[in-house]
Amino acid sequence: MNDNKQRIKNVALDYFGQKGYEDTSLAEIAKEVGIKKPSIYNHFRSKEDLFVEVLEDLIASEVTAYRLTEGKMNHQEPLLNIRKLFDLFCHRLMTTKEALLWKRVTFFPPEPFKDLIQEHFIHFEKVTTSILVSVFREGVKQSLFQGITEDEFVASFLCLVDGVFLEHHYYTKEIFEQRIQSAWKVYERGVSSYKGE
C-alpha cells in the first residue's frame, strides 16, 4: 500500500541529488516510478512536501550513522577514534545517494528551504561537535593535541571534512583518494604535538 510512497521518495532522493530541486520535475519522478504525475499527490501535498520528507529521512540516517560510530569507539585511543570518524564520513560520501543531496542542499539550498536546511545543518554539526569534544578531552588526558584548544580541534576537523566533502565532486575516485590521504596526513600532523610521537 505504501510501497509507491517509498518508491517516490527513493527516486526523488536520487533526482534531487543529481539534478537539484528546481530542475527535477514531478513528471520525471512519476515516470521513473511507473505512475502518472497526479498520483504523486495521493502521497504528498506538494513538491515542497516531498522534498521536506526526503530531507528529514536523510538527516535521520546521517545522525544515526554517527551515533553508531560513537558507540563503537574505544575511549582509550583518541587518534584512532578521530580517524574512524573521518573514515565514516568519507565512506558515506562515496557510497550513499544521501550524501550527494546533502552536499547539494547545504551548499546551494533551494530558496524555499534555506532556513530549514540551515537548522538541520546546525543540528547535525552539534551532533558531530559533541563527539569531537569527547574525543579531544580524552586525548588531552593522554597529553595528545598539545598547543591546540578544544575549539581549534573541532573547527579544523570540520574544515577538513568540509573540504573533502567538496572535493568529492571534482575528481575521479583514484585522485580523490589520494587527496583524502594527503589532507588527512597534514591534519594529523597539525593536531599532534610538535615534540612528535
Partner DNA sequence: CCTACCGATCGGTAGG
Q: Which does 182 bind (CB under 5 to 8 A by kind): a second copy, DNA, none?
A: a second copy
Cα first-last separation, the chain: 60
Binding to a second copy (CB under 8 A) within 46-105 occurs at 103-104
Indicate whether 32 belongs to the interface with DNA (CB under 7 A): no
Grid coordinates of 20: 537539484
Other Cβ atoms less than 10 A from the Cβ of 6: the count is: 11
188 scored as a contact of a second copy (CB under 8 A): yes
Give the Cα separation of 194 and 197 in Å (integer): 9
Could you tell which of a second copy, DNA, none binds residue 38, using a CB distance below 5 to 8 A set by kind? DNA
Round to whole Å and give the CA distance between 76 and 65.
21
Cβ atoms of 120 and 98 closer than 8 Å: no
Q: Which of residues 151-170 bind a second copy (CB under 8 A)?
A: 151-152, 154-156, 158-167, 169-170
- In the list a second copy, DNA, none, the entry touching 4 (Cβ below 5 to 8 angstroms by class) is DNA
**In this structure, are residues 62 and 102 in contact, taking their beta carbons and an 8 Å threshold?**
yes
Taking the least distance from each CB to a second copy, the nearer of 71 and 196 is 196
Phi/psi of residue 35, each to 5°? -130, 180
Q: Does 113 bind a second copy (CB under 8 A)?
A: no
How far apart, in whole angstroms, are the C-alpha atoms of residue 172 and residue 93? 13
Q: Which does 189 bind (CB under 5 to 8 A by kind): a second copy, DNA, none?
A: a second copy
Q: Does 194 bind a second copy (CB under 8 A)?
A: yes
> Residue 76 or 178: which CB sits closer to a second copy?
178
Long-range contacts of 174-177 (CB under 8 A, 24+ apart): 176/94
Q: Radius of gyration (Cα) for the chain, nearest Å? A: 20
Q: Is 116 in the site for DNA (CB under 7 A)?
A: no
Residue 47, binding choice from DNA, a second copy, none, Cβ under 5 to 8 Å by partner class: DNA
Q: Of 62, 59, 57, 64, give the one whose Cα is nearest residue 92.
A: 62
Binding site for a second copy (CB under 8 A): 19-20, 22-23, 103-104, 106-108, 111, 118, 121-122, 147-148, 151-152, 154-156, 158-167, 169-170, 178-179, 182-183, 185-191, 194-196
Binding site for DNA (CB under 7 A): 4, 24-28, 30, 35-39, 41-43, 45-48
